[in-house]
Amino acid sequence: MIEILVIDDDRGILEVMRKALSRENYRVTALDDPLKVNEKDLARYQLILLDVMMPGIDGFELCRKIRDRVDCPILFLTAKNEEKDVMEGLGIGGDDYITKPFGIGELRARVAAHIRRENREKKHAISIGEVRFLMQERKVCCQEQEIGFTKAEYDICEYLALNRNQVFSKERILEHVFGFDGESSSSAITEHIKNIRAKFQKFGINPIETVWGIGYRWK
């Protein structure tokens, strides 16, 4: 069952949204205080509805705090509809904006559209930390920008990322990327890893860890 997190300090609106989305067979977690968010539970949600104007910590601030921990769509709920507010919300990682007051029909339609799109994309894409793999296109993106990996570099990244936290020797990676009949040596893997890290470094990340004496893993 698809799980949705809804956060709004207006308990009346919160209950209306909870009932409306529950009728669509979504499992809804409704919170009236953003400080009640358990960050350990965030990964289980397929969509987050987030009010902007809340006491303590507003929706924009909460989005900034959790965006790198969740890959699902974040939709803002707000009475703010000026262009600068919309741009700020989308610029910090929001996916859409629903302006109050809104109809239940619009809410259901927007949520359903994002869920459908997310399901389509996840058949061919996966995000691991800050790195997004477009499997069908064989592309890697970070911070909304494509990283120009060679075929071998992409294959190494995908292999390690899809087996996150598992350590692979250079020989094992070589076999996966080039096959049993490949003419490259394990030293080629060292060079590929060096080049991969240099490209990731431009984005301030280094997801591939060296496990000395054993090999490499995606951390």
Same domain flag for 28 and 100: yes
Quickly tell me which residue has 């459908």 as its tokens. Answer: 116
pLDDT, tens digit, 9 for 90 and up, residues 2-23 = 999 999 999 999 999 999 999 9
Percent of the chain with pLDDT over 70: 93
- Residue 182's pLDDT band, with cuts at 50, 70 and 90, is very low
Same domain flag for 79 and 150: no
Domain boundary among 88, 106, 122: 122
Same domain flag for 75 and 146: no
| Residue 69, pLDDT score | 78
Quote the radius of gyration of the chain (alpha carbons, Å): 21
| Residue 93, pLDDT score | 83
pLDDT, tens digit, 9 for 90 and up, residues 115-148 = 887 776 666 778 888 899 988 788 999 988 999 9
Q: Measured on CA atoms in the order 109, 21, 74, 148, is the torsion positive or negative? A: negative
Same domain flag for 166 and 111: no
Higher pLDDT, 87 or 33: 33
